[in-house]
Amino acid sequence: MNINIAISQKPPVLLDLKASIKLAVKTIEEVAKQNTQLLVFPEAFLPGYPTWIWRLKPGGDMPLGNQLHTQLRNNAVNIAQGDLDPICEAAAKHHLIVVIGMHEIDATFSGSTLFNTVVVIDDNGVILNRHRKIMPTNPERMVWGFGDGSGLRVVDTPIGRIGCLICWENYMPLARYALYAQNIDIYIAPTWDSGDTWIASMNHIAREGGCWVLSTATALQGKDIPDSFPERDQLFQPEEWINPGDAVVVKPFGGVVAGPLHKEKGILFANLDLEAARESRKALDVAGHYNRPDIFHLEIDRREMPPVTFTDKTS
């Protein structure tokens, strides 16, 4: 089975959820014209990765950091409220599977905590899986809470079995193994990382897992930061490349077949042969014949971990 995929590394409108959703829908419409069956967006695309956290001075820029976080919280995705409906509707209209990263707000319990989330939306517009990043990296811990294991799932779609890990989660061997052990065809790694080392890691995962690997960050320059961004010119230079994007497609058992799309605010297209994944595991199947379950055993708790359970008196 051969499928057509697209990876968008176009920048969103930073800190503007409604405008970023409109851009996502426009991109869905654009790639649908190319007979695309799967579209991938970067980490935290809605409404943009908080790149400022790597530039603020610890402690010294706290007022600015608090101001930016408030804007981010006010533009985070509330899935239960239907914020993703325009994207789900576009996916269904164009019969397209969409994988998209976002800042998700915990509207159920705290009403304030944000999560770094990626969702898989099928070609009927149904959200098949929501994965919250289980370990934010370094200053990201001042932005996002810790997700639980409930999203460590590989889901069935009409174009194969899809699983996702976000950015440096892909350096967590047991998290990767959790996906390998679910008969994965397409492994998707939305990220903020880029460059040769990251691409080498994607090659390693493709070889280790015997799966197609799709990854991208957001291609972003200083001039893409909106004028409304507080103290923009103190943090960013207009012509600097904050992130080159580096969208890439790696075939099972390793080898780049498309990309990296470097310093281009565009879309990477590729064609995947799904059978190649299972063929590659004849030689190396780390969750099958190349495993020693008598020596190594992994247990994964995929229960949701709510912060509180309420028991109300019933009559």
**Residue 212: both structure tokens together:** 């197609």
Residue 291 belongs to a domain: no
Q: Which of 221, 230, 220, 281 is nearest to 254 (CA)?
A: 281
Is residue 125 assigned to a domain?
A: yes
In a domain, 95, yes or no: yes
Q: So what's the pLDDT on residue 241?
A: 98
Residue 52 has pLDDT above 90, yes or no: yes
Kindly write down the DSSP assignment for every residue of 166-199, as one continuous string.
Answer: -GGGGG-HHHHHHHHTT--SEEEEE-S--HHHHH
Which pair of structure tokens corresponds to residue 160?
Answer: 């194969």
- Which structural domain range is residue 83 located in? 2-280
Eight-class DSSP state of 210: T
Confidence of residue 73 (pLDDT cuts 50, 70, 90): very high
Q: Give the SS3 label for residue 163.
A: strand
In this structure, is residue 292 part of a structural domain?
A: no
pLDDT, residue 248, reads 98
Spacing of C-alpha 299 from chain mean position: 24
- Model confidence at 46: pLDDT above 70: yes
Known catalytic residue: 43? Answer: yes
Instruction: Report yes or no on 53 lying in a domain.
Output: yes
pLDDT of 1 reads 87
Model confidence pLDDT, tens digit, residues 76-103: 999 999 999 999 999 999 999 999 999 9
Among the listed residues 202, 237, 244, the one whose alpha carbon sits nearest the alpha carbon of residue 222: 237
Average pLDDT on 217-230 reads 96
- Chain CA centroid to CA 142, Å: 19
> Which neighbouring-strand residues pair with 188?
164, 214
Please confirm, yes or no, whether 133 is among the known catalytic residues: yes
CATH code, 12: 3.60.110.10
Q: Which of 88, 164, 167, 211 is catalytic?
A: 167
- The model's pLDDT over 135-178, given as tens digits with 9 standing for 90+, comes to 999 999 999 999 999 999 999 999 999 999 999 999 999 999 99
| 285 domain residue, yes or no | no
- The total domain count for the chain is 1
- pLDDT value of position 60: 67
Residue 310 covered by a domain: no
Q: Is residue 144 part of a domain?
A: yes
Structure tokens at 72: 């981010």
> Per-residue pLDDT for 214 more than 70?
yes
Across the range 273-277, mean pLDDT stands at 95
Q: Are 105 and 73 within 8 A, CB to CB?
A: yes
Catalytic residue chosen out of the listed positions 43, 104, 169, 208:
43
